[in-house]
Amino acid sequence: MTIQLMQGNEAIAMGAIAAGCRFYAGYPITPSTEVAEVMSRVLPKVGGKFIQMEDEIASMAAIIGGRVGGLKSMTATSGPGFSLMQENIGYAAMAEIPCVVVNVQRLGPSTGQPTAASQGDVMQARWGTHGDHQIIVLCPISVAQSFDLTVKAFNLSEKYRTPVILLTDEIIGHMREPIELPDFDIVEKFERLVTDTPDNYKAYRNDRGDVPALAGFGLGYRYHITGLFHDEVGFPTQRLDEIDPWLERVSRKIETADDILLYQTDYEAGARTAILSYGASARTARHATKQMRAKGEKVSLFTTQTLWPFPEKAVEELADSVDKIVVPEMNLGQLALEVERVVGRKKVVRVNRANGDMITPNMVLEAAEA
């Protein structure tokens, strides 16, 4: 293995290849374009397909089709494109089609500031598509983690038959850092095998665990795919005794999973203050934490890679031991809303910046020491 200097976006593309992604459809947009560039170069060499689509609505539809056809699929975009993808992300959630959607966040709303960083899509990643649904959202804090979490995104997506959003930002996406890529052959890849014969296969059966296997189209397995509520074979239904079991199963499969919540705790005994962050801002949070400790001040650090579902039990435990949780994020307060829901507003101190510049360690220090 050799050390290379690589951008976060490039590491995402390499992670996708390592995870077994063989279909990419996208519409390039700053600051996510490097993902498409690398995929367009590398995918054909490993027997995959790259398509540049006419827009992001079509891109999202194409990767759903790619996975239904049997290939692990991904697209990458940024704010304006992510907005356009929302309808089909809901379709993928409803039809339970695994896929990975990368959103390299830039300043918004609207066209905003293409080359400026932001963490403004935290709530959109959770609730951007209409209707109650479950979704997994992962957020890397480094180039190395951009690779690792992309692999994880594919594996979770396959394991739970759900779209997974890799929510990174312009800082981590464009930043170059040293990384040692592993041998792709030994990277863990989740594959769910179809054990039913075509005769008794049901794409949406509720009676054999929470995640029925998805058979590739054209292989002799017959099922229907729709964005409507459907029965176990996939045909539209209005029967409550078919809607309720489906709804319960797709909620349960994500809510009760024990391998989706990824976070790091760095607790210090006796600390009454904690800093909780994610993505680029977590780098700043770690910087401020070390500065405080160097001055002899006690502080705990909580860095989360899984934004949704929110690791509420772990955050609850954190809150039990401290008086104050500082939440730095490059938006006007989004994940802070979730922290406040879990621990109450009194304990939460927000540190926000939404003008394209990074939060500085001093901004975090001032809030933590106040």
Partner 1 sequence: MEKRTEIRLAGEGGQGMILAGIILAEAAAIYDGKQATQTQSYGPEARGGASRSEVVISDVEIDHPEVLSADVVVALSQEAYQKFAKTVHSGGLLIVDEDHVAVRADFAGVKVPIARIAQEATGKPITANTVALGVLVGMTGMVSKEALEKAVIARAPKGTEEMNRKALAAGFAAAGGRKAAA
What does the binding site for partner 1 look like in residue numbers (CB under 8 A)? 3-5, 30, 114-115, 171, 174-178, 280, 283-284, 286-287, 290-291, 294, 358, 360-361
Q: Would you say 118 or 129 has its CB closer to partner 1? A: 118
Could you give the CA distance from residue 205 to residue 220 in angstroms, rounded to a whole number? 17
Shortest spacing between CB 187 and partner 1, in angstroms: 23
55-65 core/surface letters (b: 16 or more CB in 10 A; e: else): ebbbbbbbbbb
Q: Would you say 97 or 172 has its CB closer to partner 1? A: 172
Q: Would you say 171 or 326 has its CB closer to partner 1? A: 171
Shortest spacing between CB 288 and partner 1, in angstroms: 8
Q: Would you say 142 or 157 has its CB closer to partner 1? A: 142
Shortest spacing between CB 357 and partner 1, in angstroms: 9
Joined tokens for residue 65: 């089709």
Joined tokens for residue 196: 């039913």
Q: Would you say 81 or 128 has its CB closer to partner 1? A: 81
Shortest spacing between CB 287 and partner 1, in angstroms: 4
Q: Would you say 290 or 345 has its CB closer to partner 1? A: 290
DSSP 23-81: EEEE---TTTHHHHHHHHHHGGGGT-EEEE-SSHHHHHHHHHHHHHTT--EEEEE-HHH
Joined tokens for residue 191: 């594959």
Shortest spacing between CB 328 and partner 1, in angstroms: 11
Joined tokens for residue 279: 């993505």
Q: List CB contacts of 157: < 8 A, sequence separation 6 or more.
A: 98, 99, 100, 136, 163, 164
Shortest spacing between CB 268 and partner 1, in angstroms: 16
Q: Which helix H or strand E contains 168, and what residues bound it?
A: strand 163-169
Reported as half-sphere exposure (CB side, CA atoms, 13 A), residue 334 has a value of 20
